[in-house]
Amino acid sequence: MDILHLVDRLEELFNESRPIPLTHNVIVDEDRFLDIIDQMRISIPEEVKKAQQVYSQKDRILAQAQEEANRTLVLAREKADQLVEKDGLAQEAQKRAGQIIEQARMEAENIKVGADQYALDSLLKLNMELERVMTQVRNGIQMLEEKNIPPSVCAAPTRQETP
């Protein structure tokens, strides 16, 4: 479930709660409140998983770029060897091989730069989204704290163990 939806549900629960006369406190449906908190605990790791997926995509794209560069280098060497064998013009073949290798290096570098930029852009977007969510959560907490809600109303009940 989307974390923003859960924050909205939490705010809705707060708005539906009954005020305690002559105080800034409210009575909240404990089961609904704890249910939303549990759902938030489940949802937040999903947001973290999304961030990890974006990060792992960067590594995959870089690995693909390196693999493509290696294939291009192998093809360039093979082509250079064929030129030397067919034509007997060793100097020309070496020159061409050097050009192909240089071109392959430039292409690999361009692919790597593009992959890095893509990963950076994705991570920056995810960072902005996470900051926005955290701001909303902090605002909700601040609003509840300003209402002077005692911790026993918001906190999960503690179990007393019997000896």
pLDDT tens profile 45-72: 777 777 778 787 887 888 888 899 899 9
- The answer to whether residue 66 is domain-embedded is yes
- Show the DSSP H helices in the chain as ranges: 3-16, 30-87, 90-146, 151-154
**Average confidence score pLDDT of the chain:** 83
- The answer to whether residue 102 is domain-embedded is yes
Query: Under a CB-based contact definition with an 8 Å cutoff, are residues 25 and 149 in contact?
Result: yes
Is the pLDDT at 35 greater than 80, yes or no? Answer: yes
Q: What is the pLDDT of residue 6?
A: 87
Rounded to an integer, what is the distance from CA 14 to the centroid of its chain? Answer: 30
Overall domain count for the chain: 1
Query: How far apart are alpha carbons 115 and 126 in whole angstroms?
Result: 16
Q: What is the pLDDT of residue 65?
A: 84
Phi-psi region of 20 (alpha: psi -120 to 50; beta: other; left: phi over 0): beta
Q: What is the pLDDT of residue 84?
A: 67
Query: Under a CB-based contact definition with an 8 Å cutoff, are residues 120 and 130 in contact?
Result: no
Closest by CA to 31, choosing from 143, 157, 130, 122, is 157
Strand partners for 26: 19
> Distance of CA 24 to CAs 5, 33, 129, 149, 157, Å?
26, 18, 32, 7, 21
- The answer to whether residue 124 is domain-embedded is yes
Q: What is the pLDDT of residue 71?
A: 92
Query: How far apart are alpha carbons 69 and 53 in whole angstroms?
Result: 24
- The answer to whether residue 159 is domain-embedded is no
Q: Which of 12-21, 60-69, 104-113, 146-155 has the lowest mean pLDDT?
A: 146-155
What is the extent of the structural domain holding 116? Answer: 3-150
Q: Which two tokens stand for residue 74?
A: 């192998």
Tens digit of each residue's pLDDT (9 = 90 or more) over 84-121 = 677 666 677 788 889 999 998 898 889 888 888 988 88
